[in-house]
Amino acid sequence: MQDTLEPATGAPRDAATVVLLRDAHHGLEVFLMKRSGLSDTFCEAYVFPGGKLDAQDSSPEALQTLDIPTATLPLQMNEAELSPTMAASLLVAALRELTEEAGIRLPASALVPWSRWITPRMAALSKKRFDTRFFLALSPSDQVASHDNFETTASIWLSPKDALQRYYRGEIDMAPPQIMSLGHLARYRSAAEALQAASQQRPPCICPENFSEQDVVVLCYPGDPRHSVPERALPGPTRLVVRNKRFVPVDGLESLWA
């Protein structure tokens, strides 16, 4: 993490990620992968499977693999300005990255649009900017998710609360979108409950805003008094602060799901 805020460079690159869910005896679990130490973004952080949109994701051959109609995808993703082709390409990218990184093959109909995250204009983690669409999906019982030993070097299934507690103790690293997303998922008891909630909402667009306050870096979200968007986009805290080079909620870890 950078010690000071600096302007990020360039326009955000389109990307897609899949939040893979399953049910365990103690409740909902989420699949997380550790980025390689050689990665140029979020090095050694635990993330959801995903990556940048590639040119091939928009090819007619790739788009023909989708098992759903694409005309209404922009509305389902709450992005009316998107063309159906671009929306479909993002689904292709999400499915491709899920297969490449985690070895899981799913049809497009298994993905539920959940949220959209745009990297802040002022950088605290990386100067690279991404416009990432998050999709929820139920992990298939006949496939085993695992890391690829190339882009990712480890993987684990954890309950959202367990993942956040490990992060808080400094055992694993995570970026703010994962922190806030896990806090959101910690409110659900099962994969079915989370998927049902996602299917009934309009996926929010979240563009965090960074600022410094008394030499402390603060990351705020829509609904925060310092954010340019007054309406809330997420449950939980509206800001994280940097302490010991880690993003943490001001009111303690449990405020992420309480």
pTM, entire model: 0.93
pLDDT per residue over 102-132, tens digit each? Answer: 999 999 999 999 999 999 876 655 668 899 9
The topology (CATH level 3) of 6-202 is Nucleoside Triphosphate Pyrophosphohydrolase (3.90.79)
Contact yes or no for 94/133 (Cβ under 8 A) = yes
Instruction: Give, in order, the Cα–Cα distances in Å from 22 to each of 28, 91, 115, 157, 201.
Output: 6, 20, 19, 9, 21
Which comes out higher in pLDDT, residue 219 or 43?
A: 219
CB within 8 A of 193, min separation 6: which ones? 28
Domains in the chain: boundaries: 6-202
pLDDT per residue over 131-146, tens digit each? Answer: 999 999 999 999 999 9
pLDDT per residue over 186-214, tens digit each? Answer: 999 999 999 999 999 999 999 999 998 88
Backbone φ, ψ for residue 252 (5° rounding): 95, 160
